[in-house]
A and B are shown apart, each in its own frame.
Chain A
Amino acid sequence: MSVDLATVKRVARLARIAVDEEDAQRMVGELNAILGFVAQLDEVDVSGVEPMTSVIPMEMKKRRDVVTDGGKAADIVANAPATQENFFLVPKVVE
């Protein structure tokens, strides 16, 4: 499988990365080189093989459903580019 310019632009939109025409053109070549490389997997017969879900066989750890943390609003917003009274500020999203 390979990608064309329109697909690269669509994927960039999905990935939320702004690309100009020049970036997109370059990426067509780069992405196709990588997709060409991974196409080697077509040679492998995987019928009846389970996809890996956990590399070390273990049960997912669970913890008691209790409050163990919190009250850290000031820490959480400390690194945000724009805040007001422990809220994150973003451009208006609802008209």
Chain B
Amino acid sequence: MTDLTKFTIAEARGKLAAKEFSAAELADAYLAAIDAANPRINAYVEVTHDKARAMAKASDARIAAGNAGALEGIPLGIKDLFATEGVHTQAASHVLDRFRPRYESTVTANLWADGAVMLGKLNMDEFAMGSSNETSYYGPVVNPWRAAGSNRDLVPGGSSGGSAASVAAWLAAGATATDTGGSIRQPAAFTATVGIKPTYGRCSRWGIVAFASSLDQAGPIARDVRDAAIMLKSMASVDARDTTSVDRPVPDYEAAVGQSMKGRKIGIPREYRVDGMPAEIERLWRQGIAWMKDAGAEIVDISLPHTKYALPAYYIVAPAEASSNLARYDGVRYGLRVPGKDIVEMYENSRAAGFGREVKRRVMIGTYVLSAGYYDAYYVKAQKVRTLIKKDFEDAFAAGVDAILTPATPSAAFGVADQDMAADPVKMYLNDIFTVTVNMAGLPGIAVPAGLDGNGLPLGLQLIGRPFDEEMLFRAGAVIEKAAGRFAPQKWW
């Protein structure tokens, strides 16, 4: 029998329209796959069986009536950061214990309006703070990929680890994700999936649990470039409820897939050649450059001189915004409450019990850098550095560069409970070294699988675009995908 979970969104869309199978059958195939795999992969924190079946049934009725939407009957996983009405929404944190919102995020509402089916809520790093999905209250997600000849559990990356693992392990046709410093692109690179962080302001942040408001953006993780384009078209919108939502029509991203790169300029930033970068990543990057040349693009060397300061500036700006955003978890309005002798002790006990170690660490850093006497030295300084980082990119684009090609991550997936990472928080933060600049500048970035390392683990390349030129990223990403081929893990779970 055909395994319905192996189809891409584009393939399933065609077969649903041709009535080769029903949306109900497709949803059931995914639910069965999740029930069998989730005890091992831990990608889902809640599976919404009944809702998925009801939504699929409604999709079948719309398909029969000739009213199918752009994602009609497509089963998706939703990162636990998105508010979903009446359904588990905890940002994988204990502090939001039993929270079931009475409203729906704009991004998920857009997906349901286009006919998509919700399979459940996906595991993630707590409040999207992490690069390995190990900070989740619900435990780590396990990467469906393993090194050749090894049965050691690897991380899927983070914070959208459940999103990436579910898509790679055929437990969702596509998934929503969010990216504050690399949380879409790094897990995509670790699992051979495609992840795009669109331009800041492209997807509404309304109803997404806030981490760092000036950096957070939603985007899809999908099996291929075309599916990512299809999903982003539905997720993106102009939303009056998000004051940073940008008033621009959403283009037909799918139309960009397969368009020529002839005569386009691809910038190669010399500052991304970092010390200690594995030779395999360097080789992959050179391979990507060769593919772009073969596709008719012109390669130009560029300089982004403030690259090395992006990560330190991020670790001031993001914790500062987080400490402010997370002030709302006080044990009064929703979530966990731990009693104390007075109201202040109740706040302190609730937050101590509700937040995990990494979240506390970042709230503490944020509180410190915003405290009296330090605001100018840390926060204002970091925001000035951010201006310089953005200007680096503006100069490159002003010189005619259409997109910038870089590695996506400094390594392949590492082991669950890696000793070095656990001992030094800064070592974990370095995972985002190639991705974080993009958030600091508000630009779009896509990670596309480009090859396997010597251990058979996926590696990705990143493309960075001009503001609101996601189409160029889909166009260039499709070139890499076509040249590199497709990668899928060996099923062991």
A contact residues vs B (CB 8 Å cutoff): 1, 3, 7-8, 11-19, 27, 30-31, 33-35, 37-41, 43-44, 46, 49-56, 58, 60-61, 63, 72, 75-82, 88, 90-93
Contacts and interface: CB of A to CB of B under 8 A. Distances in A.
B140 interface: no
Chain B interface, DSSP helix/strand/loop, else mixed: helix
Interface in B317-350: 323, 327, 330-337, 339-340, 342-349
Given A37-B315, A75-B102, A55 B364 contact: no
A72 B344 CA distance: 28
B385 interface: yes
Contacts of B343: 90-93
Nearest to A47: B384
B385 A44 contact: yes
B48 interface: no
Contact of B371 (A11, A40, A80): A11
A79 B334 contact: yes
A76 B99 CA distance: 12
Given A27-B361, A37-B426, A61-B243, A79 B351 contact: no
Interface residues on B, range: 35 or more
A38 B339 CA distance: 36
A55 B346 contact: no
Contact of B332 (A50, A58, A88): A88
A46 B388 contact: yes
B306 interface: yes
19 contacts: A1-B374, A11-B364, A11-B367, A14-B367, A16-B351, A17-B351, A17-B364, A18-B352, A34-B361, A35-B365, A37-B315, A38-B313, A50-B384, A51-B387, A52-B383, A52-B387, A54-B244, A60-B243, A82-B337
A17 B355 contact: yes
Contact of A38 (B98, B316, B344): B316
Contact of A16 (B243, B334, B336, B344): B344
Give the 6 A-B residue pairs with the shortest CB-CB distance, closest first. Answer: A55-B442, A51-B383, A79-B334, A81-B337, A18-B352, A18-B348
A18 to B, nearest CB: 4
Contacts of B240: 61, 63
Contacts of B429: 37
B406 interface: no
A62 to B, nearest CB: 8
B201 interface: yes
Given A17-B360, A38-B312, A56 B199 contact: yes
Contacts of B351: 15-18
A28 B30 CA distance: 47
A56 B200 contact: yes
Interface string B351-394: 11001000011011101100100100110111111111010000
